[in-house]
Amino acid sequence: MRTLILRTSITIAMLLLVLNASSLAGNQPKTSTMKGKVFRSDTNQPIANAHIILLDEKKSDKKDHSIDTKTDEQGNYSFPNVAAGAYTVSIRAWYPTQEDAPCQLLAAKTADKNSAVVVAADKDKFVQQVFIKGFSVKAGKEIVKDFDFMCKSLFAK
Q: Is 119 helix (H, G, I), strand (E, B) or coil?
A: strand
| Residue of 113, 153, 148, 150 lying closest to 134 (CA atoms) | 113
* Band of residue 85 on the pLDDT scale cut at 50, 70, 90: very high
Express each pLDDT in 33-51 by its tens digit.
999 999 999 999 999 999 9
Is a pLDDT exceeding 60 seen at residue 150?
Answer: yes
Pairwise CA distance, residues 143 & 68, whole Å: 16
Mean pLDDT of 87-115: 92
Pairwise CA distance, residues 145 & 19, whole Å: 38
